[in-house]
Amino acid sequence: MTDNVDLSVSLSGVLWKNPVTTASGTFASGKEHSEFIDISRLGAVTVKGVSPVPWQGNPPPRVAETFGGMLNAIGLENPGVDAFIRNDLPFLRGYNTNIIVNVCGHSLNEYLTVIERLAQTDADMLELNISCPNISAGGMAFGTDPKLTYETVRACKTKARQPLYVKLSPNVTSITEIARAAEAGGADGLSLINTLLGMRIDIETRAPILGNKTGGLSGPAILPVALRMVYQVYEAVKIPIIGMGGIMTGADAIEFMLAGASAVAVGTAGLIDPVAPLRVIQGIAEYLTAHGYKNPAEIVGAAH
Ligand SMILES: Cc1cc2nc3c(=O)[nH]c(=O)nc-3n(C[C@H](O)[C@H](O)[C@H](O)COP(=O)(O)O)c2cc1C
């Protein structure tokens, strides 16, 4: 029985029917997933990174399996913001959910171009990707230096019409320093974590498996690291957090909420089983019901 639970959450004034979204890059534009799940049941969909012009991405192989997770080095292949607005946005608008657009760029001007174009659309929220480990210029370089984080977020905030969430990289010494810099720059919220930089080597060819040599580690293997970072960031900032990193079940999502996440994103789990985000929603509802809570907000940060 989960009927007595109101799963809705409000993030920076945007009402979600439940606290679960897809993690950027694992849901594409949603078209493939729409064959398996009713997208309208999600609190939000977060789409893959969108750049000002089409990006080709990295040479193959782009993914490698590893124990408890996977490595990817897609390199943010995408059709560019104009094609996204023309094709993907209207498709997703056909569903009753919020649309979060992940914004990427090689330079500050590229981020600003995408944000200005999206300001003219009905996208609900923006997620500034200053944390991609798989591109040669931009990406993670912005999210691993507090000063650059602050300046990038501040400039992007002046152009953003929608709430601006900043996606943080775990590949830093102090996640709280970067989180505070993003908050000081005007971020409305934070998404964390992006993938952890990793690699694998083929022992027969004696060469790195990924075409890009290194890639980003995701999946259950990174959950404890992600959880620790959400816990620390919750104590460092006042803005809301969307937590992610290895969430497979409702119980995993509850851990993130207890650590301080107002909402969660499901990534790699959805690549294994497209229905995973719906199972996570159900698991959250069951936990809240079993423990007598009326709304997810009641448990956010309860582990502190
Ligand atoms: C294949 C793949 C592509 C991804 N593409 C993006 C992306 O375009 N932008 C982004 O911010 N994060 C991207 N990510 C990172 C995820 O959004 C997420 O932060 C990370 O995978 C941790 O969550 P998970 O363990 O549930 O997958 C990608 C991850 C994977 C596995």
Domains of the chain: 9-299 (3.20.20.70)
- The kind and range of the H/E element at 150 are helix 146-159
pLDDT tens-digit map of 221-264: 999 999 999 999 999 999 999 999 999 999 999 999 999 999 99
Closest-CA residue to 31 (of 23, 39, 22, 19): 39
For residue 77, the CA-to-ligand 1 centroid distance in Å is 13
pLDDT at 2: 60
pLDDT band at 3 (very low <50, low <70, confident <90, very high): low
Q: Is the pLDDT of residue 1 over 60?
A: no
pLDDT band at 140 (very low <50, low <70, confident <90, very high): confident
For range 119-126, the mean pLDDT: 98
**What is the residue whose two structure tokens read 């970072």?**
229
d(CA 201, CA 20): 35
* Ligand 1 pocket check for 277: Cβ under 6 Å: no
**What is the residue whose two structure tokens read 């789990």?**
269
Q: Of the residues 47, 66, 128, 194, which should be mutated to test ligand 1's pocket, given the most ligand atoms within 8 Å of the CB?
A: 194
For range 176-195, the mean pLDDT: 98
- CA 128 from centroid of its chain's CA atoms: 9
Q: Is the pLDDT of residue 187 over 80?
A: yes
Task: Give φ, ψ of 218 to 5 degrees.
Answer: -135, 175
Residue 132 contacts residue 49 (beta carbons within 8 Å): yes
The pTM for the full model equals 0.97
d(CA 253, CA 256): 5
d(CA 61, CA 74): 9
pLDDT band at 32 (very low <50, low <70, confident <90, very high): confident
- When mean pLDDT is compared across 1-15, 108-122, 212-226, the lowest value belongs to 1-15
Q: Is 156 one of the catalytic residues?
A: no
d(CA 56, CA 49): 12
Task: Give φ, ψ of 98 to 5 degrees.
Answer: -85, 150
Indicate the residue type of 142: F
Residue 302: Cβ within 10 Å count:
12
For residue 268, the CA-to-ligand 1 centroid distance in Å is 7
DSSP 51: -
**With 0-12 CB in 10 A as exposed, 13-18 as middle and 19+ as buried, what is 83?**
middle
254 Cβ neighbours under 8 A, 6+ residues apart: 283, 284, 287, 299
Indicate the residue type of 106: H
Residue 40 structure tokens: 């309208």
- CA 248 from centroid of its chain's CA atoms: 15
pLDDT at 27: 85
